[in-house]
Amino acid sequence: MKLNPDHTLVRGITSRIRDARMRYGISTAARAEMRREQRTSTHKDFSIDRTITESLAWIGRAQDNSTTADGGVARHYCLVTGWGASYPETTGYIVPTLIRECQAGRDPELLERARRMLDWLVEIQMPGGAFRGGVTSDGPAIPVTFNTGQILIGLAAGVSKFGPVYRNAMIGAADWLVETQDDDGCWRKHATPYARLGEKTYETHVAWGLFEAARVESGRGYAEAAQKNLAWALSHKGDNGWFHHCCLTDPVNPLTHTIGYALRGLIEGYLFTRDAEILEMANQTAEGALLALRPEGFLPGRLDRQWRGTVPWSCLTGTAQIAACWLLLYCETGNLRFREAAFAANRYVRGTVRLDGPAETRGAVKGSFPVSGDYLRFQYPNWACKFFIDALSLEKAVREQESQPDLAFHTAAAGLID
């Protein structure tokens, strides 16, 4: 994989200027991590089980050290500014990860942590059923479609695991999404103020929330609204699987993070509907992402419409998300290229995660690799860790299933994760 030549020179010069400036005015910890990365591009590759355990422990520390101390998970740990405030959006979809890992035999405390997260989310839900954008320290609450959809994933998991105590909150969020959806399936009325204005095809990940709500509360139009959104999003997909309007800030060079959102939403739509056409569309996007992957598992953080990398750094969040998507599709199609790509991508991200050193970063996943990259520079966001755990958990399940040849392989992927 080579960087798009139209971007290489300018981005290279910009990167060198930025790196020179960053040598001054940043924290000792940030400087030390940059030096450490220069000495070695990756760290020791630990086992999947140990890595999952350490990453789950970091999620726990992020909950315990949130500056708002409310039961939510701190948005990030930053090498410059320390721990952040609780982030409702990502706390929502961390919940099913903790429930799943507890059910897999890990620390029973994970269930109590998930319950505390849910209780906090119910407490901050807005009167109409929506949830705010941003973190709780950002000022007045503004209802946002995307954040509400992500929290809905957690609320639906809460209803499935803990019963009706979270049912009203789930119905309120799902009803609000249905009521605020435009006739063509897009959500335009309550966009996040933290992204570029305009339609967002990655809101198929909101549709996933509605599919999860439909699984536990049928007959309320949730699945129909979700399918309508998928149809709208697919009308903005190119023949090579690349989505228009699929980024927070740069729709021409979208982040792998938002590409991962769009792709996962499609896959979940297929798993709910078993519509072969949706599966084919998801395969196209997944095949496109394969074009940008290097043999060692490096995936550039931004990809253009020809699936060429346009930056020299990796968005580790997006790498983990797309790895999980490749594995889900492998389970459904048997495409070995997806399996090998996912294993390589997981191995790459795993090699960037430290399982020693300070508790603030042990088991955490950087926004960018190197840490000075443009996506959440010097930060360890909680959602990067969540998606990393998901991808590793799915790889573990696939490897275990393949080690038992007497079992039929093409088991529904939904049974393996979330």
**pLDDT tens by residue, 269-284:** 999 999 999 999 999 9
Q: Which long-range contacts (CB under 8 A, 24 or more apart) does 359-362 make?
A: 359/61, 360/61, 360/65, 360/77, 360/82, 360/83, 361/77, 361/79, 362/54, 362/57, 362/58
- Are the CB atoms for 86 and 71 separated by under 8 Å? yes
Share of the chain above pLDDT 90, in %: 83
User: Which alpha helices (H) appear in 291-409, and where do they start and end?
Assistant: 316-333, 336-352, 382-402
Q: What is the pTM of this model?
A: 0.91
**pLDDT tens by residue, 363-391:** 999 999 999 999 999 999 999 999 999 99
- Are the CB atoms for 39 and 57 separated by under 8 Å? no
User: Which alpha helices (H) appear in 274-335, and where do they start and end?
Assistant: 276-290, 316-333
Give the per-residue pLDDT at 418.
52
| CATH architecture of the domain with range 87-235 | Alpha/alpha barrel (1.50)
CA distance linking residue 71 with residue 57, whole number of Å: 15
pLDDT surpassing 50 at residue 19: no
Backbone angles phi and psi of 162, in degrees to 5: -105, -10
Cβ neighbours, 10 Å, residue 404: 8
Span(s) in the chain for CATH 1.50.10.20: 87-235
pLDDT surpassing 90 at residue 81: yes
pLDDT surpassing 70 at residue 25: no
